[in-house]
Chain A
């Protein structure tokens, strides 16, 4: 029961983070390794506005999301957009940007640990397992984000344009849709996913400069396992890896430090059998 509950909760948070990343890949065709930097930045903005400036948590949260998302989109616009055709260069630049943001935070705040207040205090016991109320909130938020994304991509005109772009950029351009504009919108939504997740998740963790690293490793593992660009694949892979992590902690306590390694090993195993990932496509086909 412990594995089940923790797996579901952590898996949902991973899924929300990975879906944003997947969406960016699908529409803009970039592997943005600075993606979780905005997760870290949002947490710091939340800390500054809430704990240092004393803003109300309900005002501080959207403000932090907006600022971090804006920086994320601006980073794409000014640093990555022009070079996005060169995938390797994008990877290198984005990892450099991630370290740049970490160094900035490190210079301002030092390697200290900070706390942001939770939206809901306390915990609840579910089948004997204690889960923080904030975790339930994060779970709810992430479910809402995932459902919202599904609805947006299926029903709205922009959503359909994003899906079309992820399938064939050239045809989309021929159809009169601005592929550049679609990419920006996808970037905005994708970064928005990670910053919203950060604001609801950071009260559970500790805010510190390297908090972006573990999530990006897990996200990469999830999107590769699920099939690059496949939202459905990312969703399922997130739960597989979360369950792997929680299972290691519960059944192999001495190996708790390798929980992420085991999760990555699961990814390697699946990829060795199915190189395109669980729901990946070998050719440009339907991705959703």
Chain B
């Protein structure tokens, strides 16, 4: 399929990647090449084939509901770009 510049801009927004005009151009051509490349899968007859998401069959594993220590707050916040000692800080989400 042909990817328009709007398609690229939409995927960039979904990906939370800010791209300038030049980067959008480069991405449009790169992504188009990649999409063309993977489209050869369309040749394969997959009628009636079960999708395979994992190499081993996954099943639920239950453990005892026991209280165990978790990461102390200090350590959890230690890598944060911005925090106030109790919470992670981000720019205002709601308008003022």
Q: Do A and B come from one complex?
A: no
Contact surface of B with A, Cβ cutoff 8 Å: none
Residues of A that sit less than 8 Å from B by CB: none
